[in-house]
Amino acid sequence: MNEVLAVGSLAYDIRTKRVGEVMEEYGTRYMLRPVQGGCEWDVLREHVRPATTADRLSPALAERNANSGRGGAVWG
């Protein structure tokens, strides 16, 4: 990808299949942080693209599905 992502935007790492917030751009890399917090990781510019709505929803849906399988609250 040749598109420059702004700090604070959400990006999708195509190698790790994770969504992260762009914390910094340096040279040919971005520093991303998980949306819910956690350790940052770096990714080459060509392995990242703007996150779509589907990218952003997938982790939340996976967590809810996991909770429902364990008898946890699905919506809250």
> What are the tokens at 20?
């992260």
pLDDT value at 6 more than 70: yes
Q: State yes or no: pLDDT of 4 exceeds 90.
A: no
Question: Cα(47)–Cα(69) distance, rounded to whole angstroms?
Answer: 33
14-41 pLDDT per residue, tens: 999 999 999 999 999 999 999 888 999 9
Mean pLDDT (the chain) is 84
Q: Whole-prediction pTM value?
A: 0.74
Q: How many CB atoms lie within 10 A of CB 30?
A: 25
pLDDT higher than threshold 70 for residue 62 = no
What's residue 63's pLDDT? 60
